[in-house]
């Protein structure tokens, strides 16, 4: 779905759920925000081609946080492009680099997932996250940092869902890429899902930071696009904090 010039939301069908990675692009390259589950790389590339973006060069991936459905597809992208630049917040970096266990994916869950993957995807995942030989993240993103992609992206550290969760504000289109800081459910913009948010109090406090931005559109990884009175909706979600 074309959000505005320079930003496209993809809809990735994972079977039990659909997630929404975002593509930020200019005339020469595209930047991917989040990578789906293990084995998702080829599907995302095909979706980008269908959107008329995939003929550009993919040089950069921005990871909003460490959860498996956001970083799982990374090994497939790295296998195709070893020079890929990967950004994440420092507070989730050790997990994404494979130096610490994932906060919400048990070894048993990961083992079950790997057992269902084709051999290539399984070996890529293991080499990236279980037995890494080097760092997966090349660059750290910091709160308030401005990234020079497609007219400018502002990094907003929104911890709670994970310690290093970030949201990304695309300044030219006034679009917030919320990651899992918020979700869209039945057309309504809601806060993060409590069942998968270890620190809900911090996650809701993080939403208050978004009031500093003029947001016209929100892209949630779960639920997709929300357009409306974002400022008042966030005020309602954080009322009393």
Phi and psi at 35, nearest 5°, equal -125, 10
Alpha helix segments (H runs only) across the chain: 41-50, 68-71, 74-80, 90-96, 107-115, 119-125, 200-207, 230-237
CB-count burial class (<10 Å; 0-12, 13-18, 19+) for 108: exposed
* Predicted model pTM: 0.97
Per-residue pLDDT of the chain in tens (241 residues, 90 and over written 9): 999 999 999 999 998 899 999 999 998 899 999 999 999 999 999 999 999 997 889 999 999 999 999 999 999 999 989 899 999 999 999 999 999 999 999 999 999 999 999 999 999 999 999 999 999 999 999 999 999 999 999 999 999 999 999 999 999 999 999 999 999 999 999 999 999 999 999 999 999 999 999 999 999 999 999 999 999 999 999 987 7
Determine the number of helices (DSSP H) and then strands (DSSP E) in the chain.
Answer: 8, 17
């Amino acid at each position: 779905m074309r959000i505005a010039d320079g930003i496209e939301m993809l809809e990735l069908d994972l079977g039990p759920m659909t997630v929404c990675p975002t593509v930020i692009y200019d005339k020469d390259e595209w930047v991917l925000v989040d990578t789906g589950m293990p084995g998702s790389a080829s599907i995302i590339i095909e979706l980008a081609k269908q959107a008329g973006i995939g003929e550009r060069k993919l040089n950069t991936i921005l990871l909003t946080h460490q959860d498996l459905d956001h970083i799982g597809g990374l090994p497939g992208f790295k296998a195709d492009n070893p020079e890929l630049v990967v950004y994440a917040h420092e507070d989730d970096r050790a997990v994404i680099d494979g130096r610490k266990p994932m906060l919400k994916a048990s070894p048993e869950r990961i083992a079950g997932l790997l057992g269902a993957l084709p051999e290539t995807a399984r070996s890529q995942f293991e080499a990236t996250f279980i037995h890494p030989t080097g760092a997966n993240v090349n660059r750290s993103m910091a709160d308030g940092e401005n990234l020079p992609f497609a007219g400018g992206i502002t990094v907003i550290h929104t911890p709670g869902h994970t310690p290093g969760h970030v949201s990304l504000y695309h300044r030219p289109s006034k679009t917030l890429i919320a990651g899992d800081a918020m979700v869209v459910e039945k057309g309504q913009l809601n806060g993060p899902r409590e069942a998968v948010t270890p620190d809900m109090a911090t996650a809701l406090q993080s939403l208050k930071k978004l009031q500093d931005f003029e947001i016209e559109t929100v892209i949630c990884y779960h639920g997709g696009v929300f357009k409306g009175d974002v400022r008042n909706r966030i005020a309602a979600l954080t009322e009393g904090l």
